Amino acid sequence: MVLNPGIRVELQRTPDDANQRHQLYVQWLNARVGNPSILQLDVIWTPEFAAAGWVLPLTPYGPASSEFFPATIEANTWAGKLYALPWFADVGLLYRRTDLVPREPKTLEEMVGYARAAMSRPGGPHYGIVLQAARYEGLITGFVEYLGAFGGRIIDEKGEVVVNRPEAVRALEFMRDELYGSRVAPLDVLTWHEEEARYAFQNGNAAFMRNWPYAVAAISDTAQSKVAGKFAVSPMPKSGAAPNGHSTAALGGAQLAINAYTESPDAAYKLIAYLTAPEQMLERARAVGQYPTRRALYDDARLKSAIAIPLDDARRAIESATPRPVTPIYTELSEILQIELHRALVRQAEPQDALNSAAARINALIERTGMRKLMSGSAHTE
């Protein structure tokens, strides 16, 4: 590295699977291991690691957080302090077949209408919409998008659990209606992850797909895709029937944080600053297609040639990005929601009942973990 000749960087491999990587980190940090000095965190881990004291606050280093998309900063902030810098962003996108769908749908209702129309065309696709609704983290990211579209939230700014409010119930009912009412989504999606949805879409079996940006490359590849050049992406639309709804994309991606047990935090920050610099983000976009988290780069012509979709579509998606609940107990909260949402979607429970049960269990979790006290404490430090 020419900028910091004194710093030698060693790479340490970790498992690709997010759960395994998380487990490994937790074991290291419980044993106070100082290596690696920089941790690559999933967007939903930062508050957990921050509350546990496993990563250092970056605030003393004065990072220019206003240069990043606000949602990516919000996701990395706990108790008023920034604990990680967003390295690259992942956002939920709505893929559509340009040969079957006349234009980008402005509302969810319009999307379902287009999907039905596409399915009923002679030779039209089997499925209107494919998404990820197996019982796993992906179900939460999808739900967050429908939830935002109807103006609902899981936890509000005061820390109250609001996932059983009418907006959330309507969002879940809408998802269920796609399966059993308008039947634009096949029941198979209840067992699907990202890849099954991608196969269905790239084989020409679906008019719409909810997925992450990674799928663009494969779907554009004529060697494996039947719909290369016949698709476009946009943010998920809002509901036309909900006045407070807004177009929402679930935020994913990787963050970089400093291991609290490292012996060289200053060098670690220098490396983080280097990796999150504009030039490096452009390089990542060119090399592996990962989206920069700096707003200004979306006005940069060099990014335009680096990513496969129109820059404006990418920018709109990231601007509509919403973090999942920013709380140290996210993983267990997510498990509760995954189960209850899945129960509602497979019709083991009614949406209202499932969400009431989720809310009750999340509240019990908050009590059990002392989160209420921690959250009020965090409000004071802000």
Partner 1 sequence: MTSPALRTRKISRLGHEARLGWTLVAPALSVIALIAIFPLGWTVWESLHLHELRMPWLGQPFVGLANYVEIARDPRFWAALGHTVFFTVVSISLELLIGLFLALAMNRVFRGRGFVRAAVLVPWAIPTVVAALLWRFIFESQGGIANALLVDAGILNQPIVWFIKTATAWVPVILADVWKTTPFVALLLLAGLQNIDLSLYEAAAVDGANAWWQLRHITLPLLKPAILVTLIFRTLDGFRVFDLIYVLTGGGPGTSTEPVALYTFNALLQNLRFGYGSALSVVIFSITFGLALLYVKGLGVRLGGDES
Among 162, 228, 326, 339, binds partner 1 (CB under 8 A): 339
Task: Tell me whether residue 162 or residue 346 sits nearer to partner 1 (CB atom).
Answer: 346
Distance in Å, CB of 242 to partner 1, minimum:
27
User: With contacts defined by CB under 8 A, how many residues of the chain interact with partner 1?
Assistant: 32
- Counting contacts by CB under 8 A, is residue 333 touching partner 1? no
Among 42, 48, 137, 167, binds partner 1 (CB under 8 A): 48
Among 188, 300, 350, 353, binds partner 1 (CB under 8 A): 188
Q: Which stretch binds partner 1 (CB under 8 A): 85-93, 160-168, 317-325, 342-350?
A: 342-350
Among 135, 183, 270, 304, binds partner 1 (CB under 8 A): 135
- HEC sequence for the chain: CCCCCCCCCCCCCCCCCHHHHHHHHHHHHHCCCCCCCEEEEECCCHHHHHHCCCECCCHHHCCCHHHECHHHHHCCEECCEECCEEEEEEECEEEEECCCCCCCCCEHHHHHHHHHHHHHCCCCCCEEEECCCCCCHHHHHHHHHHHHHCCCCCECCCCCECCCCHHHHHHHHHHHHHHHCCCCCCHHHHHCCHHHHHHHHHCCCEEEEEECCCHHHHHCCCCCCCCCCCEEEECCCECCCCCCCCCCEEEEEEEEEEECCCCCHHHHHHHHHHHCCHHHHHHHHHHHCCECCEHHHHHCHHHHHHCCCCHHHHHHHHHCEECCCCCCCHHHHHHHHHHHHHHHHCCCCCHHHHHHHHHHHHHHHHHHCCHHHHHHHHHHHC
Task: Tell me whether residue 290 or residue 338 sits nearer to partner 1 (CB atom).
Answer: 338
The contact mask relative to partner 1 for 346-375 (x = CB under 8 A, - = no) is: x-xx-------------------xx---x-
Task: Tell me whether residue 136 or residue 274 sits nearer to partner 1 (CB atom).
Answer: 136
Distance in Å, CB of 65 to partner 1, minimum:
25
Distance in Å, CB of 191 to partner 1, minimum:
5
Q: Which stretch binds partner 1 (CB under 8 A): 180-188, 223-231, 237-245, 298-306?
A: 180-188
- Counting contacts by CB under 8 A, is residue 15 touching partner 1? no
Q: Which stretch binds partner 1 (CB under 8 A): 18-26, 103-111, 271-279, 309-317?
A: 18-26
Task: Tell me whether residue 53 or residue 229 sits nearer to partner 1 (CB atom).
Answer: 53
Contact residues toward partner 1 (CB under 8 A) are 19, 23, 26-27, 30, 48, 51-53, 134-136, 186-188, 190-191, 328-329, 331-332, 335, 339-340, 342-343, 346, 348-349, 369-370, 374
